[in-house]
Chain A
């Protein structure tokens, strides 16, 4: 058990819809990272938050947004969903702002029909 909790584990929705994925980091970790893993693109970094502030941005689409709340949990919002957004979305946490040891959640599997 990594100590990182992601919900929901599975999600099936339709094109055009909006979903929210939630991540609770390991106790004491200030950084939360979001990654997308699809069959054709592999793992890609989406975005990082550190202590409530956006710290780094990767290949995150404009239809996607994220935030980190004062209690350090984070949410990834995916809107106007397309078939190609079907993927595993991972959250990871670390203690520092620069990537130290990472602790991954089990992932949220999103299927867009």
Chain B
């Protein structure tokens, strides 16, 4: 079973700060998802990565397959970025669904 560790569990920062959220896992994967969940409960998929780096607006996600580690970065953070960020692993093969991290609670203060 793949173990997923997210850090930090909670993060409070000031508007404009550069934010990094980390995700480490124990077993090789086919893909990793970063998800965002706002206080209302809805979940939005931000990225799906199998290698390298992806960028969308102020969000950047990277993955290092050899080190079994991924990071989500937020540049020029804004209060609307306040949410829970969850990494989820897909091991591949079609037999299993996603394995989820416990999430990082991010609060951006104005």
Contact = CB atoms under 8 A, between A and B. Distances in A.
A52 to B, nearest CB: 15
B62 to A, nearest CB: 18
Given A55-B94, A56-B95, A97-B94, A106 B100 contact: no
B23 interface: no
Given A43-B86, A45-B96, A45-B97, A99 B45 contact: no
A111 interface: no
A99 B35 CA distance: 14
Interface of B: 30-31, 33, 35, 41-45, 48, 86, 88, 90, 92, 94-100, 102-103
Interface of A: 2, 33, 35, 42-48, 55-56, 58, 88, 90, 92, 97-104, 106-107, 109
